[in-house]
Amino acid sequence: MSLDPQLVIMAKAPLIGRVKTRLARDIGGVEALRFFREAAASLVRRVGRDPRWRTVIAVSPDRAVHEPGIWPADIPRIAQGGGDLGARMGSLFRDLPPGPVVIVGADIPGIERRHIAAAFAALGRHDTVLGPAEDGGYWLVGMRRRPRVAEIFDGVRWSSEQAMADTLENIRKRKMSVAMLESLADIDEGKDLARWRRGA
């Protein structure tokens, strides 16, 4: 049985109206789609082929697994499944082969290999790891998954300032340890994009 570290990049099919909808309200659907495509492709190039971990792209909608030309052919794709974000991430944590798992979104432009390596290193000493986002959410979540997978997403208020606090409360209730990585920008609105482009 392999216990190889596994990186999951969660991604939606890049279609206008399906990706970065809050950002699209500020900058338009075409520009939001362009940002998503560039951010996702850049992330996959930076971290997707690192030999220290196995990478899979978890796609939504599930039928996008079979659509050619969207994602690199050499990186396996799996379906995210149904439910809210917590249900989908919970399924990934439960269903992937044994070993530590780190999940990131495809649209976080600041993620580098060193962040992923730090997350897996933290899982050598902690049950979970979070990468906080500046908006109260998080850009990375990881779990050691030994001796079992815990449900850490119950009742999380997604797309809110409370998402990380809710998740941390669930982790604490289950008496699990957590490591925190550095904070990165999550680009959800036009002001986030402008700030990121300025390098602030």
Give the model confidence (pLDDT) of 128-145 as tens digits.
Answer: 999 999 888 999 999 998
The answer to whether 119 and 142 are in contact (CB under 8 A) is yes
pLDDT of residue 115: 98
In this predicted structure, the answer to whether residue 200 has a pLDDT above a threshold of 70 is no
The answer to whether 83 and 118 are in contact (CB under 8 A) is no
The rounded distance, in Å, linking the Cα atoms of 26 and 20 is: 10
User: Which long-range contacts link 193-200 to residues 24+ away (Cβ below 8 Å)?
Assistant: 193/23, 193/26, 193/27, 193/35, 196/109, 196/110
Lookup: tokens for 180: 């925190």
Closest CA to 119 of 98, 138, 143: 143
Q: Does domain 6-186 have CATH number 3.90.550.10?
A: yes
The rounded distance, in Å, linking the Cα atoms of 42 and 111 is: 10
Closest CA to 7 of 44, 77, 72, 56: 56
% of the chain exceeding 90 in pLDDT? 80
Mean pLDDT of the chain: 93
Closest CA to 29 of 39, 20, 41, 38: 20
Span 65-107, pLDDT tens digits = 988 888 899 999 999 999 999 999 999 999 999 999 999 999 8
Lookup: tokens for 2: 């392999």
Span 140-169, pLDDT tens digits = 999 998 877 889 999 999 988 999 999 999
Query: At a CB cut-off of 8 Å and minimum separation 6, what does 101 contact?
Result: 5, 6, 7, 8, 92, 93, 142, 143, 145
pTM (2 d.p.)? 0.95
Per domain, the residue ranges of the chain are 6-186
